[in-house]
Amino acid sequence: MNEFLARAKEILPETIRVRRTIHQNGGIGFDLRPTVDFLKAELKNIGIEAEEIVDCGLTFTIGKGGKTILLRADIDALPMMERSGEEFACTNGTCHSCGHDLHGAGLFAAAKMLKERENELEGTVKFMFQPAEETLQGAKKMVEAGICEGVDAAMAIHVGSGGPRKTGHVHVTRGACYASGDKVTITVKGTGGHGAYPHSTNDPISIAASIILNVQRIQAREIPAQAMSVINFCSIHAGTAANITPESVEILGTIRTLDSKIREQALKRVKEVAEATAKMYNAEAVVEYDEANAPPVINDAELVNQFAEIFKETVGEENVEVTDNRSVNGSEDFAYVGEKVPAVMVSCACGCRDDGYDSPMHNPMVRFDENGLAYSSALYASTAFNWLKRNK
């Protein structure tokens, strides 16, 4: 058995304790004080002083000199009541239904293992415990604070549960990995009035409907068929009564792409089409994009090849799957790290539906197989240790 996987299994009870404490504390966005204070204390107990470079965003290094590899874990939860039935379930109205508690615990265990072998490191390992991934804000702020300075390569792990893959199965793809995520708000402003006299208004509701239909043409006729894109309006707010035409309508939507140029095209054209449609009907459309967004995650192909060999040595070749451009439509703000340095995002299964882990991610009933923590922590530690050794 690989030395890091063997050690990860030895310390698994401690890793599970850390995971469950993070899980019980929950917290969303940058409001993660109990989790961050707990991690600081646990790290201090193993001889590590962590620095908080943004609100609830921790970093530190192990090793000295040489090349630097960055290991990242997000640690925020989602705003929902947990219904997992676990004895350590969170009761504060937040839920680690995306597995970020496992990310934080796995990276803590990796830090412990690498600290134990610090004198053997042939380079530097930089750690990134990140808040506010679910709001797509945390990575950007940590990048702006300098987390990527001096970094030569980066890696993040995302656990999964409720799927077909057995615990410990690792999947990594070259190229596009996660889609971009942009929230758009379109406010149609016009003239309201009595519902019995529509000719005295310009009816912002029908204008909003025209905008939705016209925008869909962008995806159908302007974006190449082979390029994945989603332009989807999911919320409409307008009016107070059946006989009053409102003065404004608010439309909320999401835009997802796997290519930065396609993303730029979609954002530009949605704004142009919405504004032009409203103007055609003597109204105004105000198009706003949320600051909480993320570009697509593009895994560096050469780095995937290098890491994949280490993954196979760590968890066994039969447990590692390498593909090309197999992406998901969800978004991940690790993309901001990938824009600065060669980076790879990896998937590690921690609960198979055939083994009873049948609720999907982001579901308040999702559960995770904690044995997967040994695999994720070993992947972090072994990849950092061996990549530095081979690239010194």
Residue pair 129/73 in contact (Cβ under 8 Å)? The answer is yes
pLDDT of amino acid 119: 97
pTM of the model: 0.94
DSSP code, position 360? P
Distance CA 363, CA 172 (A): 24
Tally of domains in the chain: 2
- Which residues have C-beta within 8 Å of that of residue 296, sequence separation ≥ 6? 176, 177, 178, 179, 180, 257, 258, 259, 260, 263, 327, 335
Domain end residue (candidates: 289, 322, 351) = 289
Pseudo-torsion of CA 207, 212, 215, 216, nearest 10°? -140
pLDDT of amino acid 1: 87
Q: Is the domain of 73 the same as that of 160? A: yes
User: What's 281's domain CATH number?
Assistant: 3.30.70.360
User: What's 160's domain CATH number?
Assistant: 3.40.630.10
pLDDT in tens, 291-315: 999 999 999 999 999 999 999 999 9
Q: Is the domain of 201 the same as that of 171? A: no
Range of the domain at 299: 3-178+294-390
CB neighbours of residue 51 within 10 Å = 10
Q: Is the domain of 160 the same as that of 232? A: no
Domain end residue (candidates: 254, 289, 324) = 289
Pseudo-torsion of CA 26, 31, 33, 39, nearest 10°? 60
Domain end residue (candidates: 289, 323, 356) = 289
pLDDT of amino acid 155: 98
- From first to last of its 392 residues, the chain has per-residue pLDDT tens of 899 999 999 999 999 999 999 999 999 999 999 999 999 999 999 999 999 999 999 999 999 999 999 999 999 999 999 999 999 999 999 999 999 999 999 999 999 999 999 999 999 999 999 999 999 999 999 999 999 999 999 999 999 999 999 999 999 999 999 999 999 999 999 999 999 999 999 999 999 999 999 999 999 999 998 898 999 999 999 999 999 999 999 999 999 999 999 999 999 999 999 999 999 999 999 999 999 999 999 999 999 999 999 999 999 999 999 999 888 899 999 999 999 999 999 999 999 999 999 999 999 999 999 999 999 999 999 999 999 999 98
Distance CA 21, CA 307 (A): 30
DSSP 280-307: HTT-EEEEEE-S--B--EEE-HHHHHHH
